[in-house]
């Protein structure tokens, strides 16, 4: 859904790294140098802990779009689905989530995303699109099989059926029953899937990414990379906004300190704007912080 916006940004860049293989193809079609870069695929956090499998099916995330309908259908048909989210004690850090994934036989992944609330999206007149998710990498790195709602991007990456797909709730039930009824089949599918995810893991894949970048600049070693002021502004804004929303006191003010005193901005004229926005956001954070904590405690 961001492609039409990103292609404008790409016109000011030497190359494009995209997490979506379809997006890569679209950029290549327009004449850009583009390369696939998997996200959320690091073994420094997500790894196989060899935990005992105590959950049949795991769903982690928020229930939106068609997710509740499918999960309730599975439960109505006697499939034990364990659910958790980012605010639950058992899964509120990546390390805890990694453990829960390790303890599960199957992780279910949904890809349906709402188009209509993003008005800048030129495809907003379509109700949904099907989005690729990073969990299809790190579930495999954790040594657990993922079954996913169909999306064409994943099909381009998992070309040899390493990632089982479903399109309807009935298909989802059938796929899960098929694996849970045969431990040998489940183990073989899990190992095949894990092996593919390891090929896309950061430590391995970054070598390919480096070669892609080196090949672009090998005949132009003295190139001067110009960073536009708007890019530095967006980078600052996203960094602060993310920590503002998370409501973590120490994390927010560490980022505020880095924004003011550590980061070396290429465009010096932007610093007064960053100083004022940091000051304003810090004041707003201090005002909202105690009230937000009460809200989370109530939840």
Rounded to whole angstroms, what are the CA distances from 189 to 48, 97, 143, 163? 16, 22, 11, 8
Among candidate residues 250, 241, 246, 247, the one with its CA nearest the CA of residue 278:
241
Whole-angstrom Cα distance, residue 252 to residue 257? 9
| Tens digit of each residue's pLDDT (9 = 90 or more) over 100-118 | 999 999 999 998 877 666 5
Q: What is the mean pLDDT of the chain?
A: 87
pLDDT band at 299 (very low <50, low <70, confident <90, very high): very low
What pLDDT does 288 receive?
85
Structure tokens at 271: 């610093």
Maximum Cα interatomic distance, the chain, rounded to a whole number of Å: 64
Whole-angstrom Cα distance, residue 13 to residue 79? 49
User: Comparing 47-61, 121-135, 207-221, which segment has the lowest mean pLDDT?
Assistant: 121-135
Alpha-carbon torsion (128, 134, 140, 142), positive or negative: negative
Q: What is the mean pLDDT of residues 163-170?
A: 95
Structure tokens at 117: 């609330």
Whole-angstrom Cα distance, residue 12 to residue 220? 17
Which of 12-26, 233-247, 251-265 has the highest average model confidence (pLDDT)?
12-26
pLDDT band at 296 (very low <50, low <70, confident <90, very high): very low
User: Comparing 22-26, 130-134, 202-206, 273-277, which segment has the lowest mean pLDDT?
Assistant: 130-134
| Tens digit of each residue's pLDDT (9 = 90 or more) over 10-64 | 888 889 999 999 999 999 999 999 999 998 999 989 999 999 999 999 999 877 7
pTM for the whole structure: 0.73
């Amino acid at each position: 859904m961001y492609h039409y916006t990103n292609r404008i940004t790409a016109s000011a860049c030497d190359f494009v790294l995209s997490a979506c293989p379809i997006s890569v193809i679209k950029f290549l079609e327009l004449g850009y140098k583009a390369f696939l870069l998997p996200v959320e695929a690091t073994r420094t956090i997500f790894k196989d802990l060899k935990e005992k499998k105590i959950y049949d099916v795991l769903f982690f995330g928020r229930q939106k779009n068609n997710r509740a309908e499918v999960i309730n259908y599975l439960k109505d048909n006697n499939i034990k689905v364990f659910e958790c989210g980012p605010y639950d004690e058992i899964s509120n850090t990546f390390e805890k989530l990694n453990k829960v994934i390790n303890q599960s036989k199957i992780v279910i992944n949904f890809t349906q995303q709402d188009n209509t609330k993003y008005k800048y999206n030129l495809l907003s007149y379509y109700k949904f699109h099907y989005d690729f998710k990073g969990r299809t990498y790190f579930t495999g790195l954790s040594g657990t099989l993922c079954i996913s709602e169909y999306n064409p991007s994943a099909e381009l990456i998992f070309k040899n059926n390493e990632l089982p797909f479903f399109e309807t709730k009935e298909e989802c039930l059938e796929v899960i029953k098929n694996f849970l009824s045969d431990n040998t089949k489940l183990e073989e599918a899990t190992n095949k899937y894990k092996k593919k995810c390891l090929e896309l893991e950061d430590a391995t894949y970054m070598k390919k990414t480096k070669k892609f970048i080196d090949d672009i600049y090998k005949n132009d070693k003295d190139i001067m990379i110009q960073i536009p002021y708007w890019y530095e502004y967006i980078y600052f804004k996203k960094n602060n906004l993310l920590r503002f929303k998370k409501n973590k006191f120490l994390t927010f003010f560490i980022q505020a300190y880095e924004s003011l005193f550590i980061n070396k901005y290429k465009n010096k004229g932007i610093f007064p704007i960053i100083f004022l926005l940091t000051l304003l956001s810090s004041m707003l954070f201090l005002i909202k912080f105690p009230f937000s904590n009460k809200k989370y405690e109530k939840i």
